[in-house]
Structure 1
């Protein structure tokens, strides 16, 4: 059986890159032969209060479903919080992964991942689940004349990893929502990249409004959308209904929900989005 991709990881470096972003570097088992690709997703497990490391189930028989069932069977006050993140970068020489954490809300309203990241120090422990190479979805560069990358601050790590991997000659337009000018980042890329920074200023519709105002380059586009689920849905409706873009040419993901966490049950809109993502997974139509 294939081993369940679960391991403890230890913080080796912490750096505040912008006022609302913390970059954390990890070492740990399994990182010497770590599969890597742009927009690489994995799950991080955060310890409950009073624990130095997250408690993990004993199940290790190589069956992912059995492991997850054992994870769910842990007592509620001991089961780690599990959240999805993007691998910002991988260092194959030092066997390190780097993850960027967006600091949401205030100390009183922040969730467990933000609370952990805001106080992370060298030596702290998390656990990782994944990544799994079968979930890698390379951008269809051979089927598009240019790329649209649109997302909020939570999508910045994925957008950064994507644009930095684009080959020379690729045309890309990134529209990224951040809190303000101090949260803008610089990307190193071989592509012909244009970045439009959107400052939210407390607005929930800032990103969809900015994309609606864009003048699109000529040619066939492939769109990559990520961020708050409601904004992503609005973006996708705009691209399909108003721009006439085929659904098969849009990759989209709602990373978070404005009033709910990943621990809350999915809403009807969430379930509908999951069905749409399955439908959109078909090859783009030429």
Structure 2
């Protein structure tokens, strides 16, 4: 399976909340299927200081060959790779919107987004079926008795696309933790959607979210649960649903997007590795 790789140029930057920037890119190449399904994951390649655009390996038929070629680029030139979710594709165009959480000037993605301006260029790897879940979201949601969506602001782009893909007549609960009142974003969905927007207000990441789900009176029956955000909070929620609520493991789709006090470049912890094995087993 060929991994889609292209350059994408910034055409618009819009601050949708004080800490979230929605950046519109024009991709040089974009498959017709991009933007047609929810929760489409991709990777962005950020240029190193002094580079006008990232150094990218040529497209390869084997995704692992492409990644090996990426690793073979000298470290000083090799672009920084980070995972994102496609927020939206503008119909009939090669324009895509991606939301960036602006958590300061420490991480490469947030630091780049703080300064992004029209004309800046990134590499875009995907979206690809390689990153897609084994069962499409709408199919999994329709087969369940109800749907649970839970995440923090890093999960909002994906969660918003999932809400938009909920089948008619499905009952769904969404729990979303954001920093404070100013970071609230509307979630528009079908009549059966019940949204709980939660404010962290200085609490440790994930604690308000996990507390709200634990305290919630959830519907009866077997849900399809989608969990994403800070890895420790996702882990705690998954354990709560499986061990305390009796939700079958296959009914929980979970992804730790980031780790409190650790970066993506830090080594995985034992719990991270265990989560990765569980996630892979579900695929």
If the length of structure 2 is used for normalisation, what is the TM-score? Answer: 0.93
Equivalence for 1:284: none
Equivalence for 1:76: 75
Unaligned ranges ≥5, structure 2: none
The answer to whether 1:64 aligns with 2:60 is no
Q: How far apart, CA to CA, are the structure 1 residues paired with 2:132 and 2:59?
A: 24
After the TM superposition, which parts of structure 1 deviate over 6 Å for at least 4 consecutive aligned residues?
none
- Deviation of the 1:82 alpha carbon: 0.3
Map residues 202-217 of structure 1 onto 2, 5 A cutoff: 202-204=202-204, 205-217=207-219
- Deviation of the 1:149 alpha carbon: 0.3
Q: How far apart, CA to CA, are the structure 2 residues paired with 1:191 and 1:157?
A: 20
Equivalence for 2:89: 90
- Deviation of the 1:60 alpha carbon: 3.7
User: Contact conserved, 2:176 with 2:198, CA < 8 A, in 1?
Assistant: yes
Equivalence for 2:42: 42
Equivalence for 2:168: 168
Equivalence for 1:276: 278
Equivalence for 2:238: 236
Structure 1 residues 5-40: Cα deviation after superposition (integer angstroms, max 9, x where no partner): 111000111101111111011112222624331011
Equivalence for 1:251: 253
Q: How far apart, CA to CA, are the structure 2 residues paired with 1:176 and 1:20?
A: 15
Aligned-residue Cα RMSD (Å) equals: 1.5
User: Contact conserved, 1:163 with 1:191, CA < 8 A, in 2?
Assistant: no
Map residues 117-136 of structure 1 onto 2, 5 A cutoff: 117-136=113-132
Equivalence for 1:187: 187
* Greater mean deviation of Cα atoms: 166-175 or 81-90: 166-175
Unaligned ranges ≥5, structure 1: 282-286
User: Contact conserved, 1:35 with 1:133, CA < 8 A, in 2?
Assistant: no
- Deviation of the 1:237 alpha carbon: 0.8
Equivalence for 1:142: 142
User: Contact conserved, 2:180 with 2:201, CA < 8 A, in 1?
Assistant: yes
If the length of structure 1 is used for normalisation, what is the TM-score? Answer: 0.92
- Deviation of the 1:95 alpha carbon: 2.1
User: Contact conserved, 1:31 with 1:97, CA < 8 A, in 2?
Assistant: no
User: Contact conserved, 1:172 with 1:191, CA < 8 A, in 2?
Assistant: no
Q: How far apart, CA to CA, are the structure 1 residues paired with 2:68 and 2:56?
A: 12
User: Contact conserved, 1:199 with 1:206, CA < 8 A, in 2?
Assistant: yes
Match of 1:115 among 104, 111, 115: 111
Map residues 97-108 of structure 1 onto 2, 5 A cutoff: 97-104=96-103, 106-107=104-105
Structure 1 residues 116-146: Cα deviation after superposition (integer angstroms, max 9, x where no partner): 1111111110011111124322220232121
Q: How far apart, CA to CA, are the structure 2 residues paired with 1:168 and 1:260?
A: 40
